[in-house]
Amino acid sequence: MSFENLGLSKPLLRAVKEQGYSIPTPIQLQAIPIIIEGKDVLAAAQTGTGKTAGFTLPLLEKLSQTEPKMQKKQIRVLVLTPTRELAAQVAQSIKTYGKYVPYTSTVIFGGVGINPQLATLRKGVDIVIATPGRLLDIAGQKGIDFSALECLVLDEADRMLDMGFIHDIKRLMKLMPHHRQTLLFSATFSPEIKKLASGLLHSPTLVEVARQNKTADQISQVVHFVDKSRKRELLSQLIKTKDWRQVLVFTRTKHGANRLTKQLEEAGISASAIHGNKSQGARTKALASFKANEIRVLVATDIAARGIDIDQLPHVVNYELPNVPEDYVHRIGRTGRAGQSGEAVSLVCIDEHKLLFDIEKFIKSDIKKVHIEAFTPDPNIKAEAIQNGRGGGKRQGGNSRNSPRSNSSHSNNGGGRDGARSNSRNRNSNRNRNRSEG
């Protein structure tokens, strides 16, 4: 099956061909014809499977097929994303594939001046890509009109829920026409996502191309056990001895990202940090430098896990394991995209053994453990509770044993529903901090 069989017009096929694509991915194969038909869609797709093109291509096709109802341009398509980086990524996808299609678009998010965004909206655009918080601010100033809206897309809906955007989304919904096409894309079909979908979508077609807890087969995963105080030393050694040139490193907190970036720079490794406290200009500059191979390491918090799309990114490192198992899948999904191979390395200290156990349980697979003699953990170090970050609570890590598998009984006693509640509390404790992203 080729793109020619999916109902796309010649201008779009020309743009797709120029990008070097000839065969659609499974999510594109299933979603594109359904979206062109005008049906609501509830879609789950593994990260890196071409999901963005899966909705941008058919929406551009629909725009090119129909004339706007009003003479002045009004918003016909709205795409909501959880982060600024993802909004920019979607905007770039629309620009790339809409190269030969007559339309106008704009991207709206916080961290930059609001007045130029208001001015652009007053002129009129066909497509708006936005984060919920800034869009709600603009709506509060009567700066946006949804009366001609034909299609709403919620991209990475599960992440938006995790970040506390649900109330903003519901307030925005009240400003939109009831009769519209709605597309909801999510990495997971959690109960919360299903509940959200039931209130927004009308008889949606279900599209699911990979189970929510599956990691991509082309990603090589490995764990190195190391004392917390020696993680930076081990990371530096891996980067230098293996000559890694492009490494995305994840930390739990913004402060941790800044500290690690400074330490890497002091060790002679070029690095930049990207997180919610950075200005949009600084984030854009850091990401551009990383993509251009001007710096070797980009240190990020989970806010960037779903908003960074880098062709053939070879290495992802979990400097600290995430508190929520699903975030492990999203983090390592930054590599191994579009069928390319990738490597995901996790540096795990004694505090994180329970987190590792939860991740392996979630992905239904044991991650390969590779022992590095020079970094053998000190058996006398006891596990400590993990700080979730500034203003957050604590997360119980592992026990005092060195093998994560020895946590099985510990996890069964303290896991199950209690573990689920713990994960829920972790999400809730982060929502107020993440909310500033919009």
DSSP secondary-structure letter at 368?
E
Res. 278 pLDDT band, cuts 50 70 90: confident
User: Can you tell me the mean pLDDT for 58-64?
Assistant: 93
Look up the pTM and report it: 0.66
- Exposed/middle/buried for residue 384 (C-beta within 10 Å: 0-12, 13-18, 19+): middle
The pLDDT of residue 164 is: 85
Region of poorest pLDDT, from 24-38, 44-58, 147-161: 44-58
pLDDT at residue number 57: 96
pLDDT over 70 at 35, yes or no:
yes
For residue range 367-422, list pLDDT tens digits in order.
999 999 999 999 999 999 886 543 344 554 444 333 333 333 333 333 333 333 33
Q: Which domains does the chain possess?
A: 3-208 (3.40.50.300), 219-416 (3.40.50.300)
Find the helix or strand (DSSP H, E) in which 273 lies: strand 271-274
User: pLDDT tens across 314-344, in order?
Assistant: 999 999 999 988 888 888 888 876 567 889 9
* Stronger pLDDT, 6 or 399, i.e. the higher one: 6
Residue 241, CB-side half-sphere exposure with 13 Å CA sphere: 6
Q: Which residue has the higher pLDDT, 45 or 83?
A: 83
Nearest in space to 302 (alpha carbons), one of 277, 281, 282, 330: 330
Residues sharing a CB contact under 8 Å with residue 36, sequence separation 6 or more, in sequence order: 6, 7, 58, 61, 62
Which pLDDT score is estimated for 338?
A: 59
Give me the pLDDT at residue 287, please. Answer: 87
Which is more confidently placed, 211 or 74? 74
Share of the chain above pLDDT 70, in %: 82
Q: How confident is the model at residue 238 (pLDDT cuts 50, 70, 90)?
A: very high
Closest by CA to 78, choosing from 161, 151, 133, is 151
Q: What is the pLDDT of residues 188-219, one digit of tens each?
A: 777 888 888 888 899 999 998 765 556 667 88
The answer to whether residue 28 scores a pLDDT higher than 90 is yes
User: How high is the pLDDT of residue 6?
Assistant: 93
Could you tell me the end-to-end alpha-carbon distance of the chain, in angstroms, rounded to an integer?
39
Q: What is the mean pLDDT of the chain?
A: 84
